[in-house]
Amino acid sequence: MSLPSTGGIEVVELFAGYERPVVGPLSFSLSPGRVLGLSGPNGAGKSTVLAALVGTARVFGGRVNRPPGLRIAFQGQHLPPSRGLPLTGRELLDLAAAPCAGLPDWLMRALDRRLDTLSGGQRQFLHHWATLMSPAEAVLLDEPTNNMDPAGMAELKKAIRGRSSTTAIALISHESDFLETVCDQIVRVGEMQVSG
Amino acid sequence: MNEALLSGSLFLKPFLTGLAYALLLPVLGCYLRLRDEWLAALAFTQVAAAGALVAMAIAAPPVLGGLAAAALAALVKHHSMRVGNAIYALLYLGGWGVAVLLVANLPLAERLARALFDGQLYFSGQAHLMAAWAALPLALAWLARLSRTLLVARFLPGHLLATGRLEGRAHLGFDLLVACALALATMSIGVAAAFALIFVPAWIVCDAASGWRRALIFSALMGAAGYVAAFFLALAADQPFGPILALTLVLAAGLTFLRRRTVAHPG
């Protein structure tokens, strides 16, 4: 099966894993202006799919077509440890070349604090904001709603929808309501059922 | 001798030589903490000392031997990532073993070894001074080029993975930078003093500074302050410089730790 070229990332009959294939076959297209969700039970291989898109998981079959020079920003579900390191939220955004404008007030007020003094939800939002708003053509987010309260999830939805007009976005979440409201298309990993 | 050192140009060259390293090494130490690699500094200084002794044994300039050995250690470390922190212990033990065997078998090596391990700062000459002040701006400029990649690799690793950029070159560049800086510093201020300057100020400052840039500035200032205090204290008390610097910085670390406990648990 071959999908038409979209200027984004095409995944065709993908089998991916590390020592052996753990997910597949999967076919989908990640296009600018669209938000793709990956859902499925624990252990279905959702994170492995994103890892295959960025080249850290092995492709055992099928293919991942990435246009040369495509800038991808990826945030995994585990945030890097920051304890004992003096980086502030503002400095993190500078590193990602992401703007502060548009951040929710509760995070804007905390931007000059060290990352290791922020709450889990604040850090989660900040890292995903930095990734989402970085100058990339494709953004991949793994479980961005972890540790986030309803207000944070609402702000994240707004940010994703706002960014999606120019960017291809793929995200994983175990929050089915979140996926339903933010995604244009959902690929159910492990069931091979595509909706949207 | 101390009066002459304190009053004349004999004092100035050693003082300025050590000052350059007191400003540089704490800044590098912040990046070692960023990478959880502070133990690498201990390995690089020990290997550099062993390299200097090997060079002396074959009638080559010790500074070249120290630089070459430290650079080799950086390459070994870079290509042994899977071994984790164990590589630092192995390098340290290897460097120590070579150094001790050379001292045991070559009478001439004993004097150089003593200078390297105790620190021979007061006997630094024009060449040491020029090397130190050439190394300072070059190393800082090199670090400025690497800084962003090193920070992104720690705090936003997915950005580098996904873009396929060759961050490996930045990591190798940093390893070589630290190894060469420590090798030069070891030749002037000794193994323990170089390690104390790269480890202690960064350890104190990184835990308390309110931003990365401030941490770099404060660690350099703390390194310089500790160095100046130790330099004059060692002269006044007619004691070797290396242990005095190490003890000065350890004392500063202890006082900082006590102050933090007091602030966190008043009463």
Contact A95 B156 (CB under 8 A): yes
Judge whether A96 and B159 are in contact, CB under 8 Å. Answer: yes
Nearest CB to A73: which of B33, B159, B213?
Answer: B159
Question: How far is CA A140 from each of CA A66, A75, A146, rounded to the nearest angstrom?
Answer: 14, 6, 15
How close A171 comes to chain B (CA, Å)?
A: 14
Judge whether B68 and B98 are in contact, CB under 8 Å. Answer: no
Question: How far is CA B118 from each of CA B153, B163, B248, rounded to the nearest angstrom?
Answer: 36, 47, 15
Question: How far is CA A149 from each of CA A22, A62, A152, A161, rounded to the nearest angstrom?
Answer: 32, 38, 5, 18
Question: How far is CA A7 from each of CA A4, A33, A130, A136, B131, rounded to the nearest angstrom?
Answer: 10, 11, 23, 13, 53
Whether A3 shows a pLDDT value over 50: the answer reads no
Which pLDDT score is estimated for B167?
Answer: 74
Whether B2 shows a pLDDT value over 70: the answer reads no
* DSSP structure class, residue A115: G
Question: Using one digit for the tens of pLDDT, what is the confidence trace for B77-86?
Answer: 988 877 778 8
Contact B209 A71 (CB under 8 A): no
Whether B168 shows a pLDDT value over 80: the answer reads no
Contact A80 B152 (CB under 8 A): no
Instruction: Compute the distance between CA of residue A187 and CA of residue A16 in angstroms, rounded to an integer.
Output: 15
Q: Tokens 């705090």 belong to which residue?
A: B155
Q: Which of A47, A64, A82, A85 to mutate to test the interface with B (most CBs of B within 10 A)?
A: A85
* DSSP structure class, residue A114: B
B166 touches chain A (CB under 8 A): no
State the burial class of residue A77 (Cβ atoms within 10 Å of its Cβ: 0-12, 13-18, 19+): middle
From chain A, the residues in CB contact with B159 under 8 A are: 73-74, 96, 131, 134, 136
In which band, very low, low, confident or very high, does the pLDDT at B155 lie, cut at 50, 70 and 90? very high
Instruction: Compute the distance between CA of residue A167 and CA of residue A186 in angstroms, rounded to an integer.
Output: 17
Residue of A nearest to B32 (CA): A85
Question: Using one digit for the tens of pLDDT, what is the confidence trace for B87-132?
Answer: 999 999 999 999 999 989 988 888 888 888 877 777 778 888 999 9
Tokens of A8: 């984004």
How high is the mean pLDDT of chain B? 89
Tokens of B75: 């390459």
Question: Using one digit for the tens of pLDDT, what is the confidence trace for A6-37?
Answer: 568 899 999 999 988 888 798 999 988 899 99
Q: Which of B148, B161, B167, B222 to mutate to test the interface with A (most CBs of A within 10 A)?
A: B161
B212 touches chain A (CB under 8 A): yes
Residue A37, φ and ψ in degrees, nearest 5: -105, 145
In which band, very low, low, confident or very high, does the pLDDT at B164 lie, cut at 50, 70 and 90? low
Tokens of B162: 């996904």
Nearest CB to B34: which of A71, A85, A92?
Answer: A85
DSSP string, chain B: -HHHHHHSHHHHHHHHHHHHHHHHHHHHHHHHHHTT-HHHHHHHHHHHHHHHHHHHHTTS-HHHHHHHHHHHHHHHHHTTGGGTTHHHHHHHHHHHHHHHHHHHH-HHHHHHHHHHHH--GGG--HHHHHHHHHHHHHHHHHHHHHHHHHHHHHH-HHHHHHHT--HHHHHHHHHHHHHHHHHHHHHHH-HHHHHHHHHHHHHHHHTT-SSHHHHHHHHHHHHHHHHHHHHHHHHHHT--HHHHHHHHHHHHHHHHHHHHHHHHS--
**How many CA atoms are closer than 13 Å to the CA of A87, on its beta-carbon side?**
28
